[in-house]
Structure 1
Amino acid sequence: MSAFELAEEEERQPRKRAPWGVIALVLLTGLALIRNGSGEFEVGPPQPASAAARDSRLPGAPAQAAALPHSAPDRVRIPSIQVDAPVMPVALDADGWVGAPPPEDPNLAGWFTGAVTPGEKGTAVVVGHVDNRQGPAVFYGLGAMKQGNRVEIARKDGKTAVFEVYGVEVFEKNNFPGDRVYGSKGTPELRVITCGGGFSKQNGYDGNVVAFARLVEVR
């Protein structure tokens, strides 16, 4: 069964998800597997500015939108950094790490199936590579996002969940705040994650860039 067939099966049969406490503990040590970006280019990916890191509502920002029912994501669009990519399901691999889309395809994102679908009550997680050996990949520009930027997730049910970014930060993989990043706030939220921070040939990227966003509109 292909990855996209798995997504369709997930759509037909929403599976029982693990408690967030368990997921957060696993991801605290595991999500850093989005670590196989090459980092082999003279100019690295943009890193979040300190002004983007505040967790606060923007003046005049839209109110939080009501939660949606379960429906697997189909596509992610982030106009501010020119992202328009299909989304495939990813899960934990045999080593207990959160998987990532195949690195050979630079324009492909992954939705972590152990979490809610984007738009549901809780925190959805979308991951993707920052680069590969050929050049920048889908979330290369994630660190350049600013508060107020929008992330649009087209879902299998035909609805588009629109999220507003309220913070962008980079965290060391050895000190990753799993509870803060993945924990549910009781409302529909989204985390978009890729590699970031410093890079070495031996260990790859030493951090993850995380965009924090909340649901503000449904189309």
Structure 2
Amino acid sequence: MNTERLTLAERARIHAALGDPARLAIVDTLVAGDAAPGELGAALDLPTNLVAHHLKVLEDAGLVLRTRSEGDRRRTYVRLRPDALTAIATPALLAAKRVVFVCTQNSARSQLAAAIWSRRSHVPAVSAGTQPAERVHPRALKIARRHGLDPVDWHTSNLGDVVRRDDLLIAVCDNAYEHLPSEQRPRLHWSIPDPAPMDTDAAFESAYTEIADRIDRLAPALSPEATDSTRSTP
């Protein structure tokens, strides 16, 4: 979707889709991260049939798309189309003292995400894995250096050894999201395909680009002022 080339009819369809309060609430929820239809229903207190109807309208308008989980193939996740964000206002998001990016092995996506985040935000960021590998993937190191990141101190860590109660967890893969501790809040989910199975520079570059785009959208919403305001909260 290129909003500079949308026809009047396409623009009208987007505005009509966002004219319903429930659909606008779904879009607001998906600005921060991806979600399964059932999760949207639970978060917004909507029955299954209404969630399905509203998602169909949003899909027809080109605002959202569905992807199948790389973990549990029976699950699907809904995500915003990146270009569609130019047509909507980003809502206020939660504050966080620290961000923890999580993937299964902590060998590529989460490492890249923490490094990119540290360039974009004053909010501290670290990375961890639910089943950490012994080392960071060599192609992740290569892509990091290509973009001017310094991976010399990168090492894998177990989520249980890293996470704190008030961290904002951002799972950058489906498997990790589906295995996060149920009591851990707040959390976000970014359904970013695992580049390791393809094991090409192009796959890792694609993961880098999507992570960077998502961070560019989220980082401004977690301002230093918002973070400072949480420090007095027990």
Could you tell me the TM-score, scaled by structure 2's length? 0.24
| Structure with greater strand share of residues | 1
Could you tell me the TM-score, scaled by structure 1's length? 0.25
| Structure with greater helix share of residues | 2
